[in-house]
Chains A and B, each alone.
Chain A
C-alpha cells in the first residue's frame, strides 16, 4: 500500500474520530453544550488528534528507520568473503540496492514476473540480461550473493511495508477509540487539545535545531570518511589542488582558501566604501524624498538572485574588463573569468547589504551626540567623521563581518565569474577558484560518491561552515552588544 494511501486513511480515521467524539460528548449532556467542560468542537479535535498524531509519528519514524534496519540485516547476512572482495561495504550495499530497485522496476514494467524476480535459483546471466532489457543500470554482471541479498532485501521491504500499514492504521483506530471513550461531559478536552497543540508548536520550533544538527552531522560523518581515505595533513598542508578522478589527486585546501579570501577582499573593497558612504548620505544628508527613492532602489540590488550576478560577471563584466586589461589593452588579463571579475560583481551585490545595515546602526546613534558636536561648532561632516562614525564603529565592523561571511559563502558568482583553476597567485586578473565553486564541481561531476574526490567536498563544506559560523557569531555578538549600548 503506497504511503500516500496510508496517510489518507489515517486522516480519514481522524475525521471520523472528530465526528464521533463530538457527537458522543454532546450526547452525554443531552445535546446541551452548556453542560460540557469544553466547547463541543474540542472533543472533536481531541478525536482527530488522538487518531492522527501518534499514527503519523510512527509512520514517519518507520519510513526513516525501516530501510536502515533492513539494510543492516541484509548486510549481516551477506556471506563472509564477499564483503572483503568488494571495495567497501558501502559500495556493495549500493549495488544490492540498485539490483533490488532494478528488480522492482522490471516487475513494474512487466519484463519480469513477480515469481521470477524472487526465484532463488534464477539464472544469473538471464537475470542480468532481463534487467538490462528493462533499462536498469547494472554496473557489472550480477553476482550470486548480490542477487540473493537483493531478493532478501525486497522480501524484507515488502514485509516491513505490510507491517507498517497494519501498525499505523491500528494505532490510528486505537487512538480514535480512546478519544471517543473519553468524550464525556466532565473530561477537560480543551486542556488536552491545547497541550497537544503546544507540543506541535514546540516541535515546529525545534526544526531549527534539527536542521543545524543535520548540517553538522552530514558534514561531520562524510568529513571523517574523507579523512579516513585521505590524510588530513595533506589536506591542510598541501599547496596544490589537482583532483584527478582516476586517483592520485592532490587535494590541498590552501589555493581554494586563498581564492575565496582574495575575491572576498576585492568584493569588500568595492562594497564597503560605496555602501558606507551611501548609508552616511542617506541617514545624515538626504531629504526624505531622495531617501524614499534611493533606499528601495539600492535594496533592489539585494533582491536580485545571485545567478543573475553570475551571468552579469561572465557575460558583461568579464568582456568589459578584457577590453580594458586584456591583450588589446594593458595586456594584464588572459580571460574574462578572473578574481577581479568575480570580486567586482560580488561587491555590487554586497552594497545594499552594507548600506542598509550601516544605515540602521548610524540611525541608532543618539541625536544628542550630534547636537553636542554642532554646539561646539563642528560642521556636519566633522560631526560624522569624529563623533557619529566612532560611536557607530563596532556596529559597522559587525556589518562588514556579516558582509564578509556572505562573500565567503557566495557560490554562483564565483562558479561563473572566477574561473576554475586553483592557484596561489597575487595577480587579481588571473582566474582562481574558491571553496564554494569546488564544492559544486566536485559533487556535480561523475565521481564515485565514495571516492576522495567527491568526499573532499564535505571537508570543504565543513571548513566553509565553520568559517562563516565564527564570522556570524562574532558579528552578531558585536552588533547586539553595540545596540544595547544606546538603548
Chain B
C-alpha cells in the first residue's frame, strides 16, 4: 500500500522555483490498477519517479507498506527498489551487450542471489511471458514488443509488489502496444499494484482508477467501475 502525504517536489530552473509536485496527498491500495494522465510538464513523471524512489520529495511523507521510505538512506532505498518495485520504461533500457536472459537476471545479481536460483527464476519468467525461445538473443535481435516484454520480465523477476510503467507503449506500434498492456494487466490481475503513466487516453482509460495531473496538482481521481477484467480488489 502506498500513502503520500503533502508531497512537494520543487525544482530550481535558473533562479525560478518550479513546483513539479504541489501538495499531493493520496493512497493507493495493494493490487490497484492506476493510470496517471495529464499534459506534459504536469508532474506525472516526477510523481512516478518519486513513487519508485528514484527521486526524493522536497517535503512530505511517503509510506510504502507502512514504512516511511523518505527517511531511508541511499543504500536502504536501493534495497527497497530492488525488492519492492519494478520499473518499465518507454525506452526499454535494456543493456545492449547482454542477452535477454542476462538482462532479466540483473536485478537478481544485484540482490546477491546465487546463480542456480537465478537461472530457474529467469527461465520461469521468460517462459511465462512467451520469450523462452528468445532468451539468448541480444536486444538488437528482438522486436520492440519483445524488448518491452523482456523489460517487463526484468521488472517482475524479483516479484515486487508495485510495478511502475512510464509510457510503456510510447515506443511501440498499436498492436504490440496492446499486447504489452494486456501483459501488464494480467500481472495486475495476479495481485501486483500497477501504476502507469501515459498521455494516451485510450490506454489510460483501461485502468480502473484514473488520476489526472495538472500543474503539479492532483486534478481528478476517478474510479471507473465498468472495468470487469480487474478482479482483485480484495487486499
Partners in one complex: no
Could you tell me which A residues sit within 8 Å of B by CB distance? none
Q: Which residues of B contact A (CB under 8 A)?
A: none
